[in-house]
A and B are shown apart, each in its own frame.
Chain A
Amino acid sequence: MTESDKERAERVGDPKLQSAYRALGAEEPPRALDEAVLAASRRAAKVHPAPLVAPTGRRSWSVPLAAAAVLALAVGVTVHMQIEQPGIDGLPPAGERDRPEAVARSSPPPAKAEKPAIAAAAPPAAMGETRAKPAPKTEAPSPAREMTAQSAEADQGTRPERELRMAEERAKSSSDRSLAGARDMATEAPAAPAPQAAAPAALAKRADAAGQAAAESPERELERIADLRKQGRHDEADKALAEFRKRHPDIKIPAAMLERVERR
């Protein structure tokens, strides 16, 4: 006999304690309570108890489906952001970007003296690589800012590429690195080239040559001066060249170009 059995036998064998406890009464739960419990037990018996395994039916597919939907949405948004990212790097936040003043702000000023300097200082090869992507940036600040990612991609594949191709061709004709730098900057420079490229003839008619020059890239400006020289309009060419040097003191004009723009 174990210790606990012995103890229990001792207590069970205590008739006085037993009878005293029994004398306290044999209370029973009220009938209404019995009915309530039994009714609940009968209701529960009709349905299967909570399973120990994973639930089946509606819940088995709804949760994974919801999770997949959330995942797909997250991936979609991420991809969308990555597509948009190159075109909106230098722009203000979306809400601000759509406002006219924001567009104007994001549209670079006509002439930025600092830009060519930076471009000239940077290694051309590296610049060539980095320019390829930001180029559409300068094209973007038109009202077409609201365009979709697809149209942005289309844009990347047209005008900027054309300009880059042209720039490369021009680079071949010149072995000078600083001009290549200036050219690279021209593709990047926010000189509002869109109106110019669209209508160079109209621009040529502008009376204000300085204003026109200010709107041009350094490379184009030099080309224009060379054209003036070629046409024998030396005074205008001199004036334009002086203006160019004044505005771009840190751009070293390559020898080949120098021959074309300087009076002989």
Chain B
Amino acid sequence: MAAGDEQLMLAYREGDAGAFEELYRRHKGGLFRFVLRSVRERSVAEELYQEIWMRAIEARGRYEVQAKFTTWLYTIAHHRLVDHWRKKGLQVVSLDIESEFPAHPGFEPQGILQAKQGLERFARALELLPPAQREAFLLHHEADMSVAEIARATGSNEEAAKSRLRYATARLKEALGDD
């Protein structure tokens, strides 16, 4: 039986480099896609992705099994992304004030839906999601997180996390013409 993520991380904390390699192999794809689809630019995504792993390596001494390893890892990722957005003058807005979301430049749902088809439409809809909603959706699909885990990783409450996920799902379904 394969060791759990948490055991691997504890082993790495004690100096087992091989344990980290296994952890990295398990989570590198999901984390990379999470970052890439959050920031869209590949070069920026690569830089952030590396920094997230570096922070995880640096923080190994403080690692305690209080939650799933993925929650811990994606919490680091969330904080790094928030830093990134802050530097760019953006904010991760709460879904509690959905109506106050800043309109994305060129965001015309009806026009997009009419102009584009299939996957491209879905990708575009994902891109256009408010950052908090997109983050909730990506955490759910890439890290296989529950609502409670999403709330924990993003430092919000379950209600907010659930709302974000629901709104994101609704919009993406709409993009697929499945509403």
Contacts and interface: CB of A to CB of B under 8 A. Distances in A.
B122 A49 contact: no
Contacts of B32: 27-29
B158 interface: yes
A255 B170 CA distance: 117
A44 interface: yes
B60 interface: yes
A93 interface: no
Given A17-B176, A41-B24, A8 B119 contact: no
Interface residues of A, number: 35
B50 A36 contact: yes
A41 B46 CA distance: 17
Contacts of A14: 169, 173
A210 B79 CA distance: 92
A210 to B, nearest CB: 87
Given A17-B172, A21-B141, A26 B29 contact: yes
Contacts of A26: 29, 33
Interface residues of B, number: 42
B140 A23 contact: no
Interface stretch (B13-21, B65-73, B87-95): B13-21
Interface string A14-48: 10111011011011111001101110111011101
Interface of B: 12-13, 15-17, 20-21, 24, 28-29, 32-33, 36-37, 46, 49-50, 53-54, 57-58, 60-62, 119, 122-123, 126, 140-141, 146-148, 158, 162, 165-166, 169, 172-173, 176, 178
11 contacts: A17-B172, A24-B37, A27-B36, A37-B24, A38-B24, A41-B12, A45-B16, A46-B15, A50-B61, A50-B62, A52-B62
